[in-house]
Every structure is written in structure tokens, then in C-alpha cells.
Amino acid sequence: MTSPTSVTIRSFQVGFGDCFLLQFNYASGEPRNVLIDFGTTGLPKTLATTPKVHMPLVAQEIARLCGKDAGQGKKGKLHAIVATHRHKDHISGFATDGSNGGSGAIISELQPDVIVQPWTEDPDAEEDALRPTNTSRATPSARRRRFTRELNAMHGVAEASVAYAQAELRKGAGAALSIRALGKLQFVGEDNVKNLSAVKNLIAMGKRRGARAYYVHYGSKSGFEGVLPGVTVTVLGPPTLEQYDKIGTMRSRDDVEFWHLLAGPRTAAARRPLADGFSSNWSRRHRDMSGRSPLPPQSRWFASRLGRLRGQQVMEMVTALDEEMNNTSIILLFEFGGRKLLFPGDAQLENWRHALQDVGDGKEAAENVKHLSDIDFYKVGHHGSLNATPKKMLWEKLVNRKKPVAKRLRTMLSTMPGRHPGKTGGNSEVPRKTLLDALKSDTLLLSTDDLRKAKALKTTDWYQEITIDAVAAKPGN
């Protein structure tokens, strides 16, 4: 087994989420299979189904494509899993607790040899978490509590925002925000709520005898070294805090954690101040102080406006949190047979900037840009949002855009319009229309959004598929 002759990339219909199966095909021997993300936060209504039903079916299809054939006693094999970051729309399918119909168990049975996650997911990260530990098997200790606490705080804020959205939705016409806005708030909040079952399964798969977990960062080993013969995999992101402190501005210079301030006191972890207010003691004390005064007439208008403002602030907080979590996303470049495939997960500008603008005082970054300029395939970042495909740093440098069809840049987009509220302080749709226009005019685009229009859902309608041959062979799809 030398170098792959081709790669087949499938982007599964998971609504607003990502699920990419890469099959590296070799002249001799079985293909090598890599699953990059498996999650959803909502399916198109046209599918008339739910994640509990749909995700196990997708998992079974993945298993089939990986060689599972129960009739012939074949178990199938997944060689590697990449969970680019911990958002629900990227990992919920790995859950085994029934929230997605147990789809994670089907994936586990494929016995992946390598589990690749960003360094921020390392369960044994040091307390200060400026960089990952050398091995995922280091002894857990009190040192990691601080890091865990910060992530938990972010989840706490997300949980509170979901609780807020649900409470407002129950009010109906009296809600502070529109039903549509609350729906989006709930969506982003749920995407950021800790998916414990999926996280545990990813850890468990990495600890399976014969398997190994890698927690990667810019410039680190990818973990694919022994898994994909003839394929070079480069990790371009995320940077560690040491490499690039912009990615971790949640960590202030005084080590007061921004998200912890919003999540609430650790002594009352069960409470959600953002949704419910402070402790019952606090509430009781101030309620008594006020004597339960009714709102005077001249104060009612402003009180009502405050309710609306609160909704807007919660929306801003959870969107900001979402962006920060996206920036922990892995960016991977696969190279084989003269081909280059770029998978950036949901990386946002700060993550990209390190690799393409700042690293090595700009010199190494310039080399990275040059190296990426002739990529053959691009997985569109963050479902086609405003800020995930850097326009000047990356897009304008891609030389295979607008080339004749045979040589033109291939792109794949997994998205579902109308779900995501866009960027903090802004008003931008996802997928971004201007980006979609550019993808359609300059590249050969395959989007899962086109799949939902299929009238009769057949197995082959579950994914977009493209095959890219090594340069020596004839390119095609």
C-alpha cells in the first residue's frame, strides 16, 4: 500500500451540522476511512424526521460504506475520527445515550484507531491550559480544574440561554423577543450545551486498546501518521494560547474568567443566574427590602423595554460564546498524489489569522498561504458564515478558482439556511449569500442544502459525493 489513487468525500445530510466521510482509495487493499465530525442541531422539515431516527440511519450508512456487512460477518472499519470542536452540530452523533438514537454506538463498533480532537478537549490538560499535555493518558489531577471550570462556565451560559429562551417561548405573545429570534437563541444555546455522552464516547474510543487519542494544535503531529499511508496531514489550527493569545481572550491577564462571571458562582453550580437570577437568599433579601412594591405606571414602559433588552443581551452573549468555541476548531490539510484538501471545521478569523497572517512573525504564515493557494478541495468553513472563509487571507489567494471545470476548485458545504443568527453585534445570514454566490461562480460547489429538495429520500440522497483522483490519474468526480 503506497499512496492513494483517489479520495472519495461524502457530505451527509445532517441539516445544520457537519458529517464528512473521507475514503482514501488505494490501488491495492481496502480503502482507509476517516470521519470528520458527526453532529446535527436540526434537520430540514422536508425530511419529516427527527435526529433520533435520522442519525442512526446515517451512522449505519457510514458503517456500510466503511465495509460493514452483517450478512457476510464483516464489521467494517473506521480508521480515524476527527471531532473538530465540541459543538453539538459537530459531535452530537457520537452520543450513545439515546439523544440521537444511539448513533454513537454504531460508530464505536467501527473501532477507530485514532481519535483527533483540538488541544482544548484534552481531559488531562494542565490547570492553566496554555498548551496540551504530551499524552492523553496523563494522570488527572486538580491542576486541570481551572481549565475545566472555564469550559463548564461556557456550557453554563449556554444552558442558561436555552432555559431563558424556553421560558420566553412559553409566554407566547408576551415574550420579550419574536418567536423567530427565540428559536435562533435556543438553537445556538443548545449547540453550545455540553454534550456529555458524545464527549465521553470520544474519550472512550480514544482509550480503546489499540486506539490512540490525539489532542492537536497548530504545528503538532496530526495522529494520522500510521493510519493513512501516502497521505500527509498538517494541523494548521487551532493555535495554543501560548502560540496565540488572541484565541483565548476569555482568559484575562488577571485570570478572572469572563464566562465564569456570566455563568455564576461555582458554589451554586446548579443555579443559572443568567436565566433565574441570583441565589434564593439574595432574592429574598431584596424582595423583603422592596416590600413587594408594584411597578408605578410611569415605570412600566421602561421595564418592558428592559425585558426586550435582556433578550438581546442573552442573544449576544450566546453568539459570542459560540464564536469563541468555533475558534477552538481543528484546521487540517490532507495531501496525497499532488492533491490538497482543506478541512477547517468552523474556524473563525482569530484561528485563521494565526496560521495565515501572524505565525513566525508573518514569514511562516506567508509560507502557509502559499502552500494553501493551490488547494483542490475546500470544505466551506462554519456552514458558510460571514467570517469563516477569510476573504483576503485565503479566498483571494486560491488559484484554482475560476479555472476550467477539470481543474476548478471543488467545494463542499454542509448547511441549512435560517437556523443560525450570525455574528455578534451584526446581522448576517448563514449561509452568507455573498459567499454562496462566490462559491457557485468560482468553484464547483456541492451543498447539502440541495439534498433536502429531494422528493423521495433514497440512501444516495443522504450525501453529496465527490471523488478526486491523484494528479497522475485523470481528475473527475
Q: How far is the CB of 46 from another protein (least distance, A)?
A: 21
Strand order through the sheet with 331-336: 232-237, 331-336, 339-343, 377-379, 410-413, 444-447
What is the 3-class SS of the chain, one letter each residue? CCCCCEEEEEEECCECCCEEEEEEECCCCCCEEEEEEECCCECCHHHCCCHHHHHHHHHHHHHHHCCCEHHHCECCCCCEEECCCCCHHHHHHHCCCCCCCCHHHHHHCCCCCEEEEEHHHCCCCCCCCCCCCCCCCCCCCHHHHHHHHHHHHHHHHHHHHHHHHHHHHHHHHHCCCCHHHHHHHHHHHHHHCCCHHHHHHHHHHHHCCCCEEEEECCCCCCCCCCCCCCCEEEEEECCCCCCCHHHHCCECCCCCEHHHHHHCCHHHCCCCHHHHCCCHHHHHHHHHHHCCCCCCHHHHHHHHHHHHHHHHHHHHHHHHHHHHHHCCCCEEEEEECCEEEEECCCCCHHHHHHHHHHHHHHHHHHHHHHHHCCCCEEECHHHHCCCCCCCCCCHHHCCCCCCCHHHCCEEEECCCCCCCCCCCCCCCCCCCHHHHHHHHHHCEEEEHHHHHHCCCCCHHHHEEEEEEECCCCCCCC
Q: How far is the CB of 245 from another protein (least distance, A)?
A: 9
Query: Among 18, 49, 50, which residue's Cα sits nearest to residue 35?
Result: 18
Q: How far is the CB of 313 from another protein (least distance, A)?
A: 5
Q: How far is the CB of 403 from another protein (least distance, A)?
A: 21
Q: How far is the CB of 37 from another protein (least distance, A)?
A: 22
Q: How far is the CB of 334 from another protein (least distance, A)?
A: 24
Q: How far is the CB of 144 from another protein (least distance, A)?
A: 19
Nearer residue to another protein within complex by CB, 82 or 445: 445
Residue 168 CB partners (closer than 8 Å, separation 6+)? 175, 176, 177, 182, 311
Nearer residue to another protein within complex by CB, 79 or 383: 383
**Phi, psi (degrees; rounded to nearest 5) at 173:** -65, -20
Q: How far is the CB of 372 from another protein (least distance, A)?
A: 15
Nearer residue to another protein within complex by CB, 139 or 267: 267
Nearer residue to another protein within complex by CB, 231 or 439: 439
Nearer residue to another protein within complex by CB, 253 or 458: 253
Nearer residue to another protein within complex by CB, 254 or 361: 254
Q: Please give the Cα distance from 100 to 17 (Å, whole number).
A: 13
Q: How far is the CB of 347 from another protein (least distance, A)?
A: 12
Nearer residue to another protein within complex by CB, 385 or 414: 385
Nearer residue to another protein within complex by CB, 131 or 310: 310
Nearer residue to another protein within complex by CB, 117 or 387: 387
Q: How far is the CB of 439 from another protein (least distance, A)?
A: 10
Nearer residue to another protein within complex by CB, 12 or 147: 147
Nearer residue to another protein within complex by CB, 140 or 418: 418
Query: Among 407, 401, 430, 413, which residue's Cα sits nearest to residue 464?
Result: 413
Q: How far is the CB of 205 from another protein (least distance, A)?
A: 33
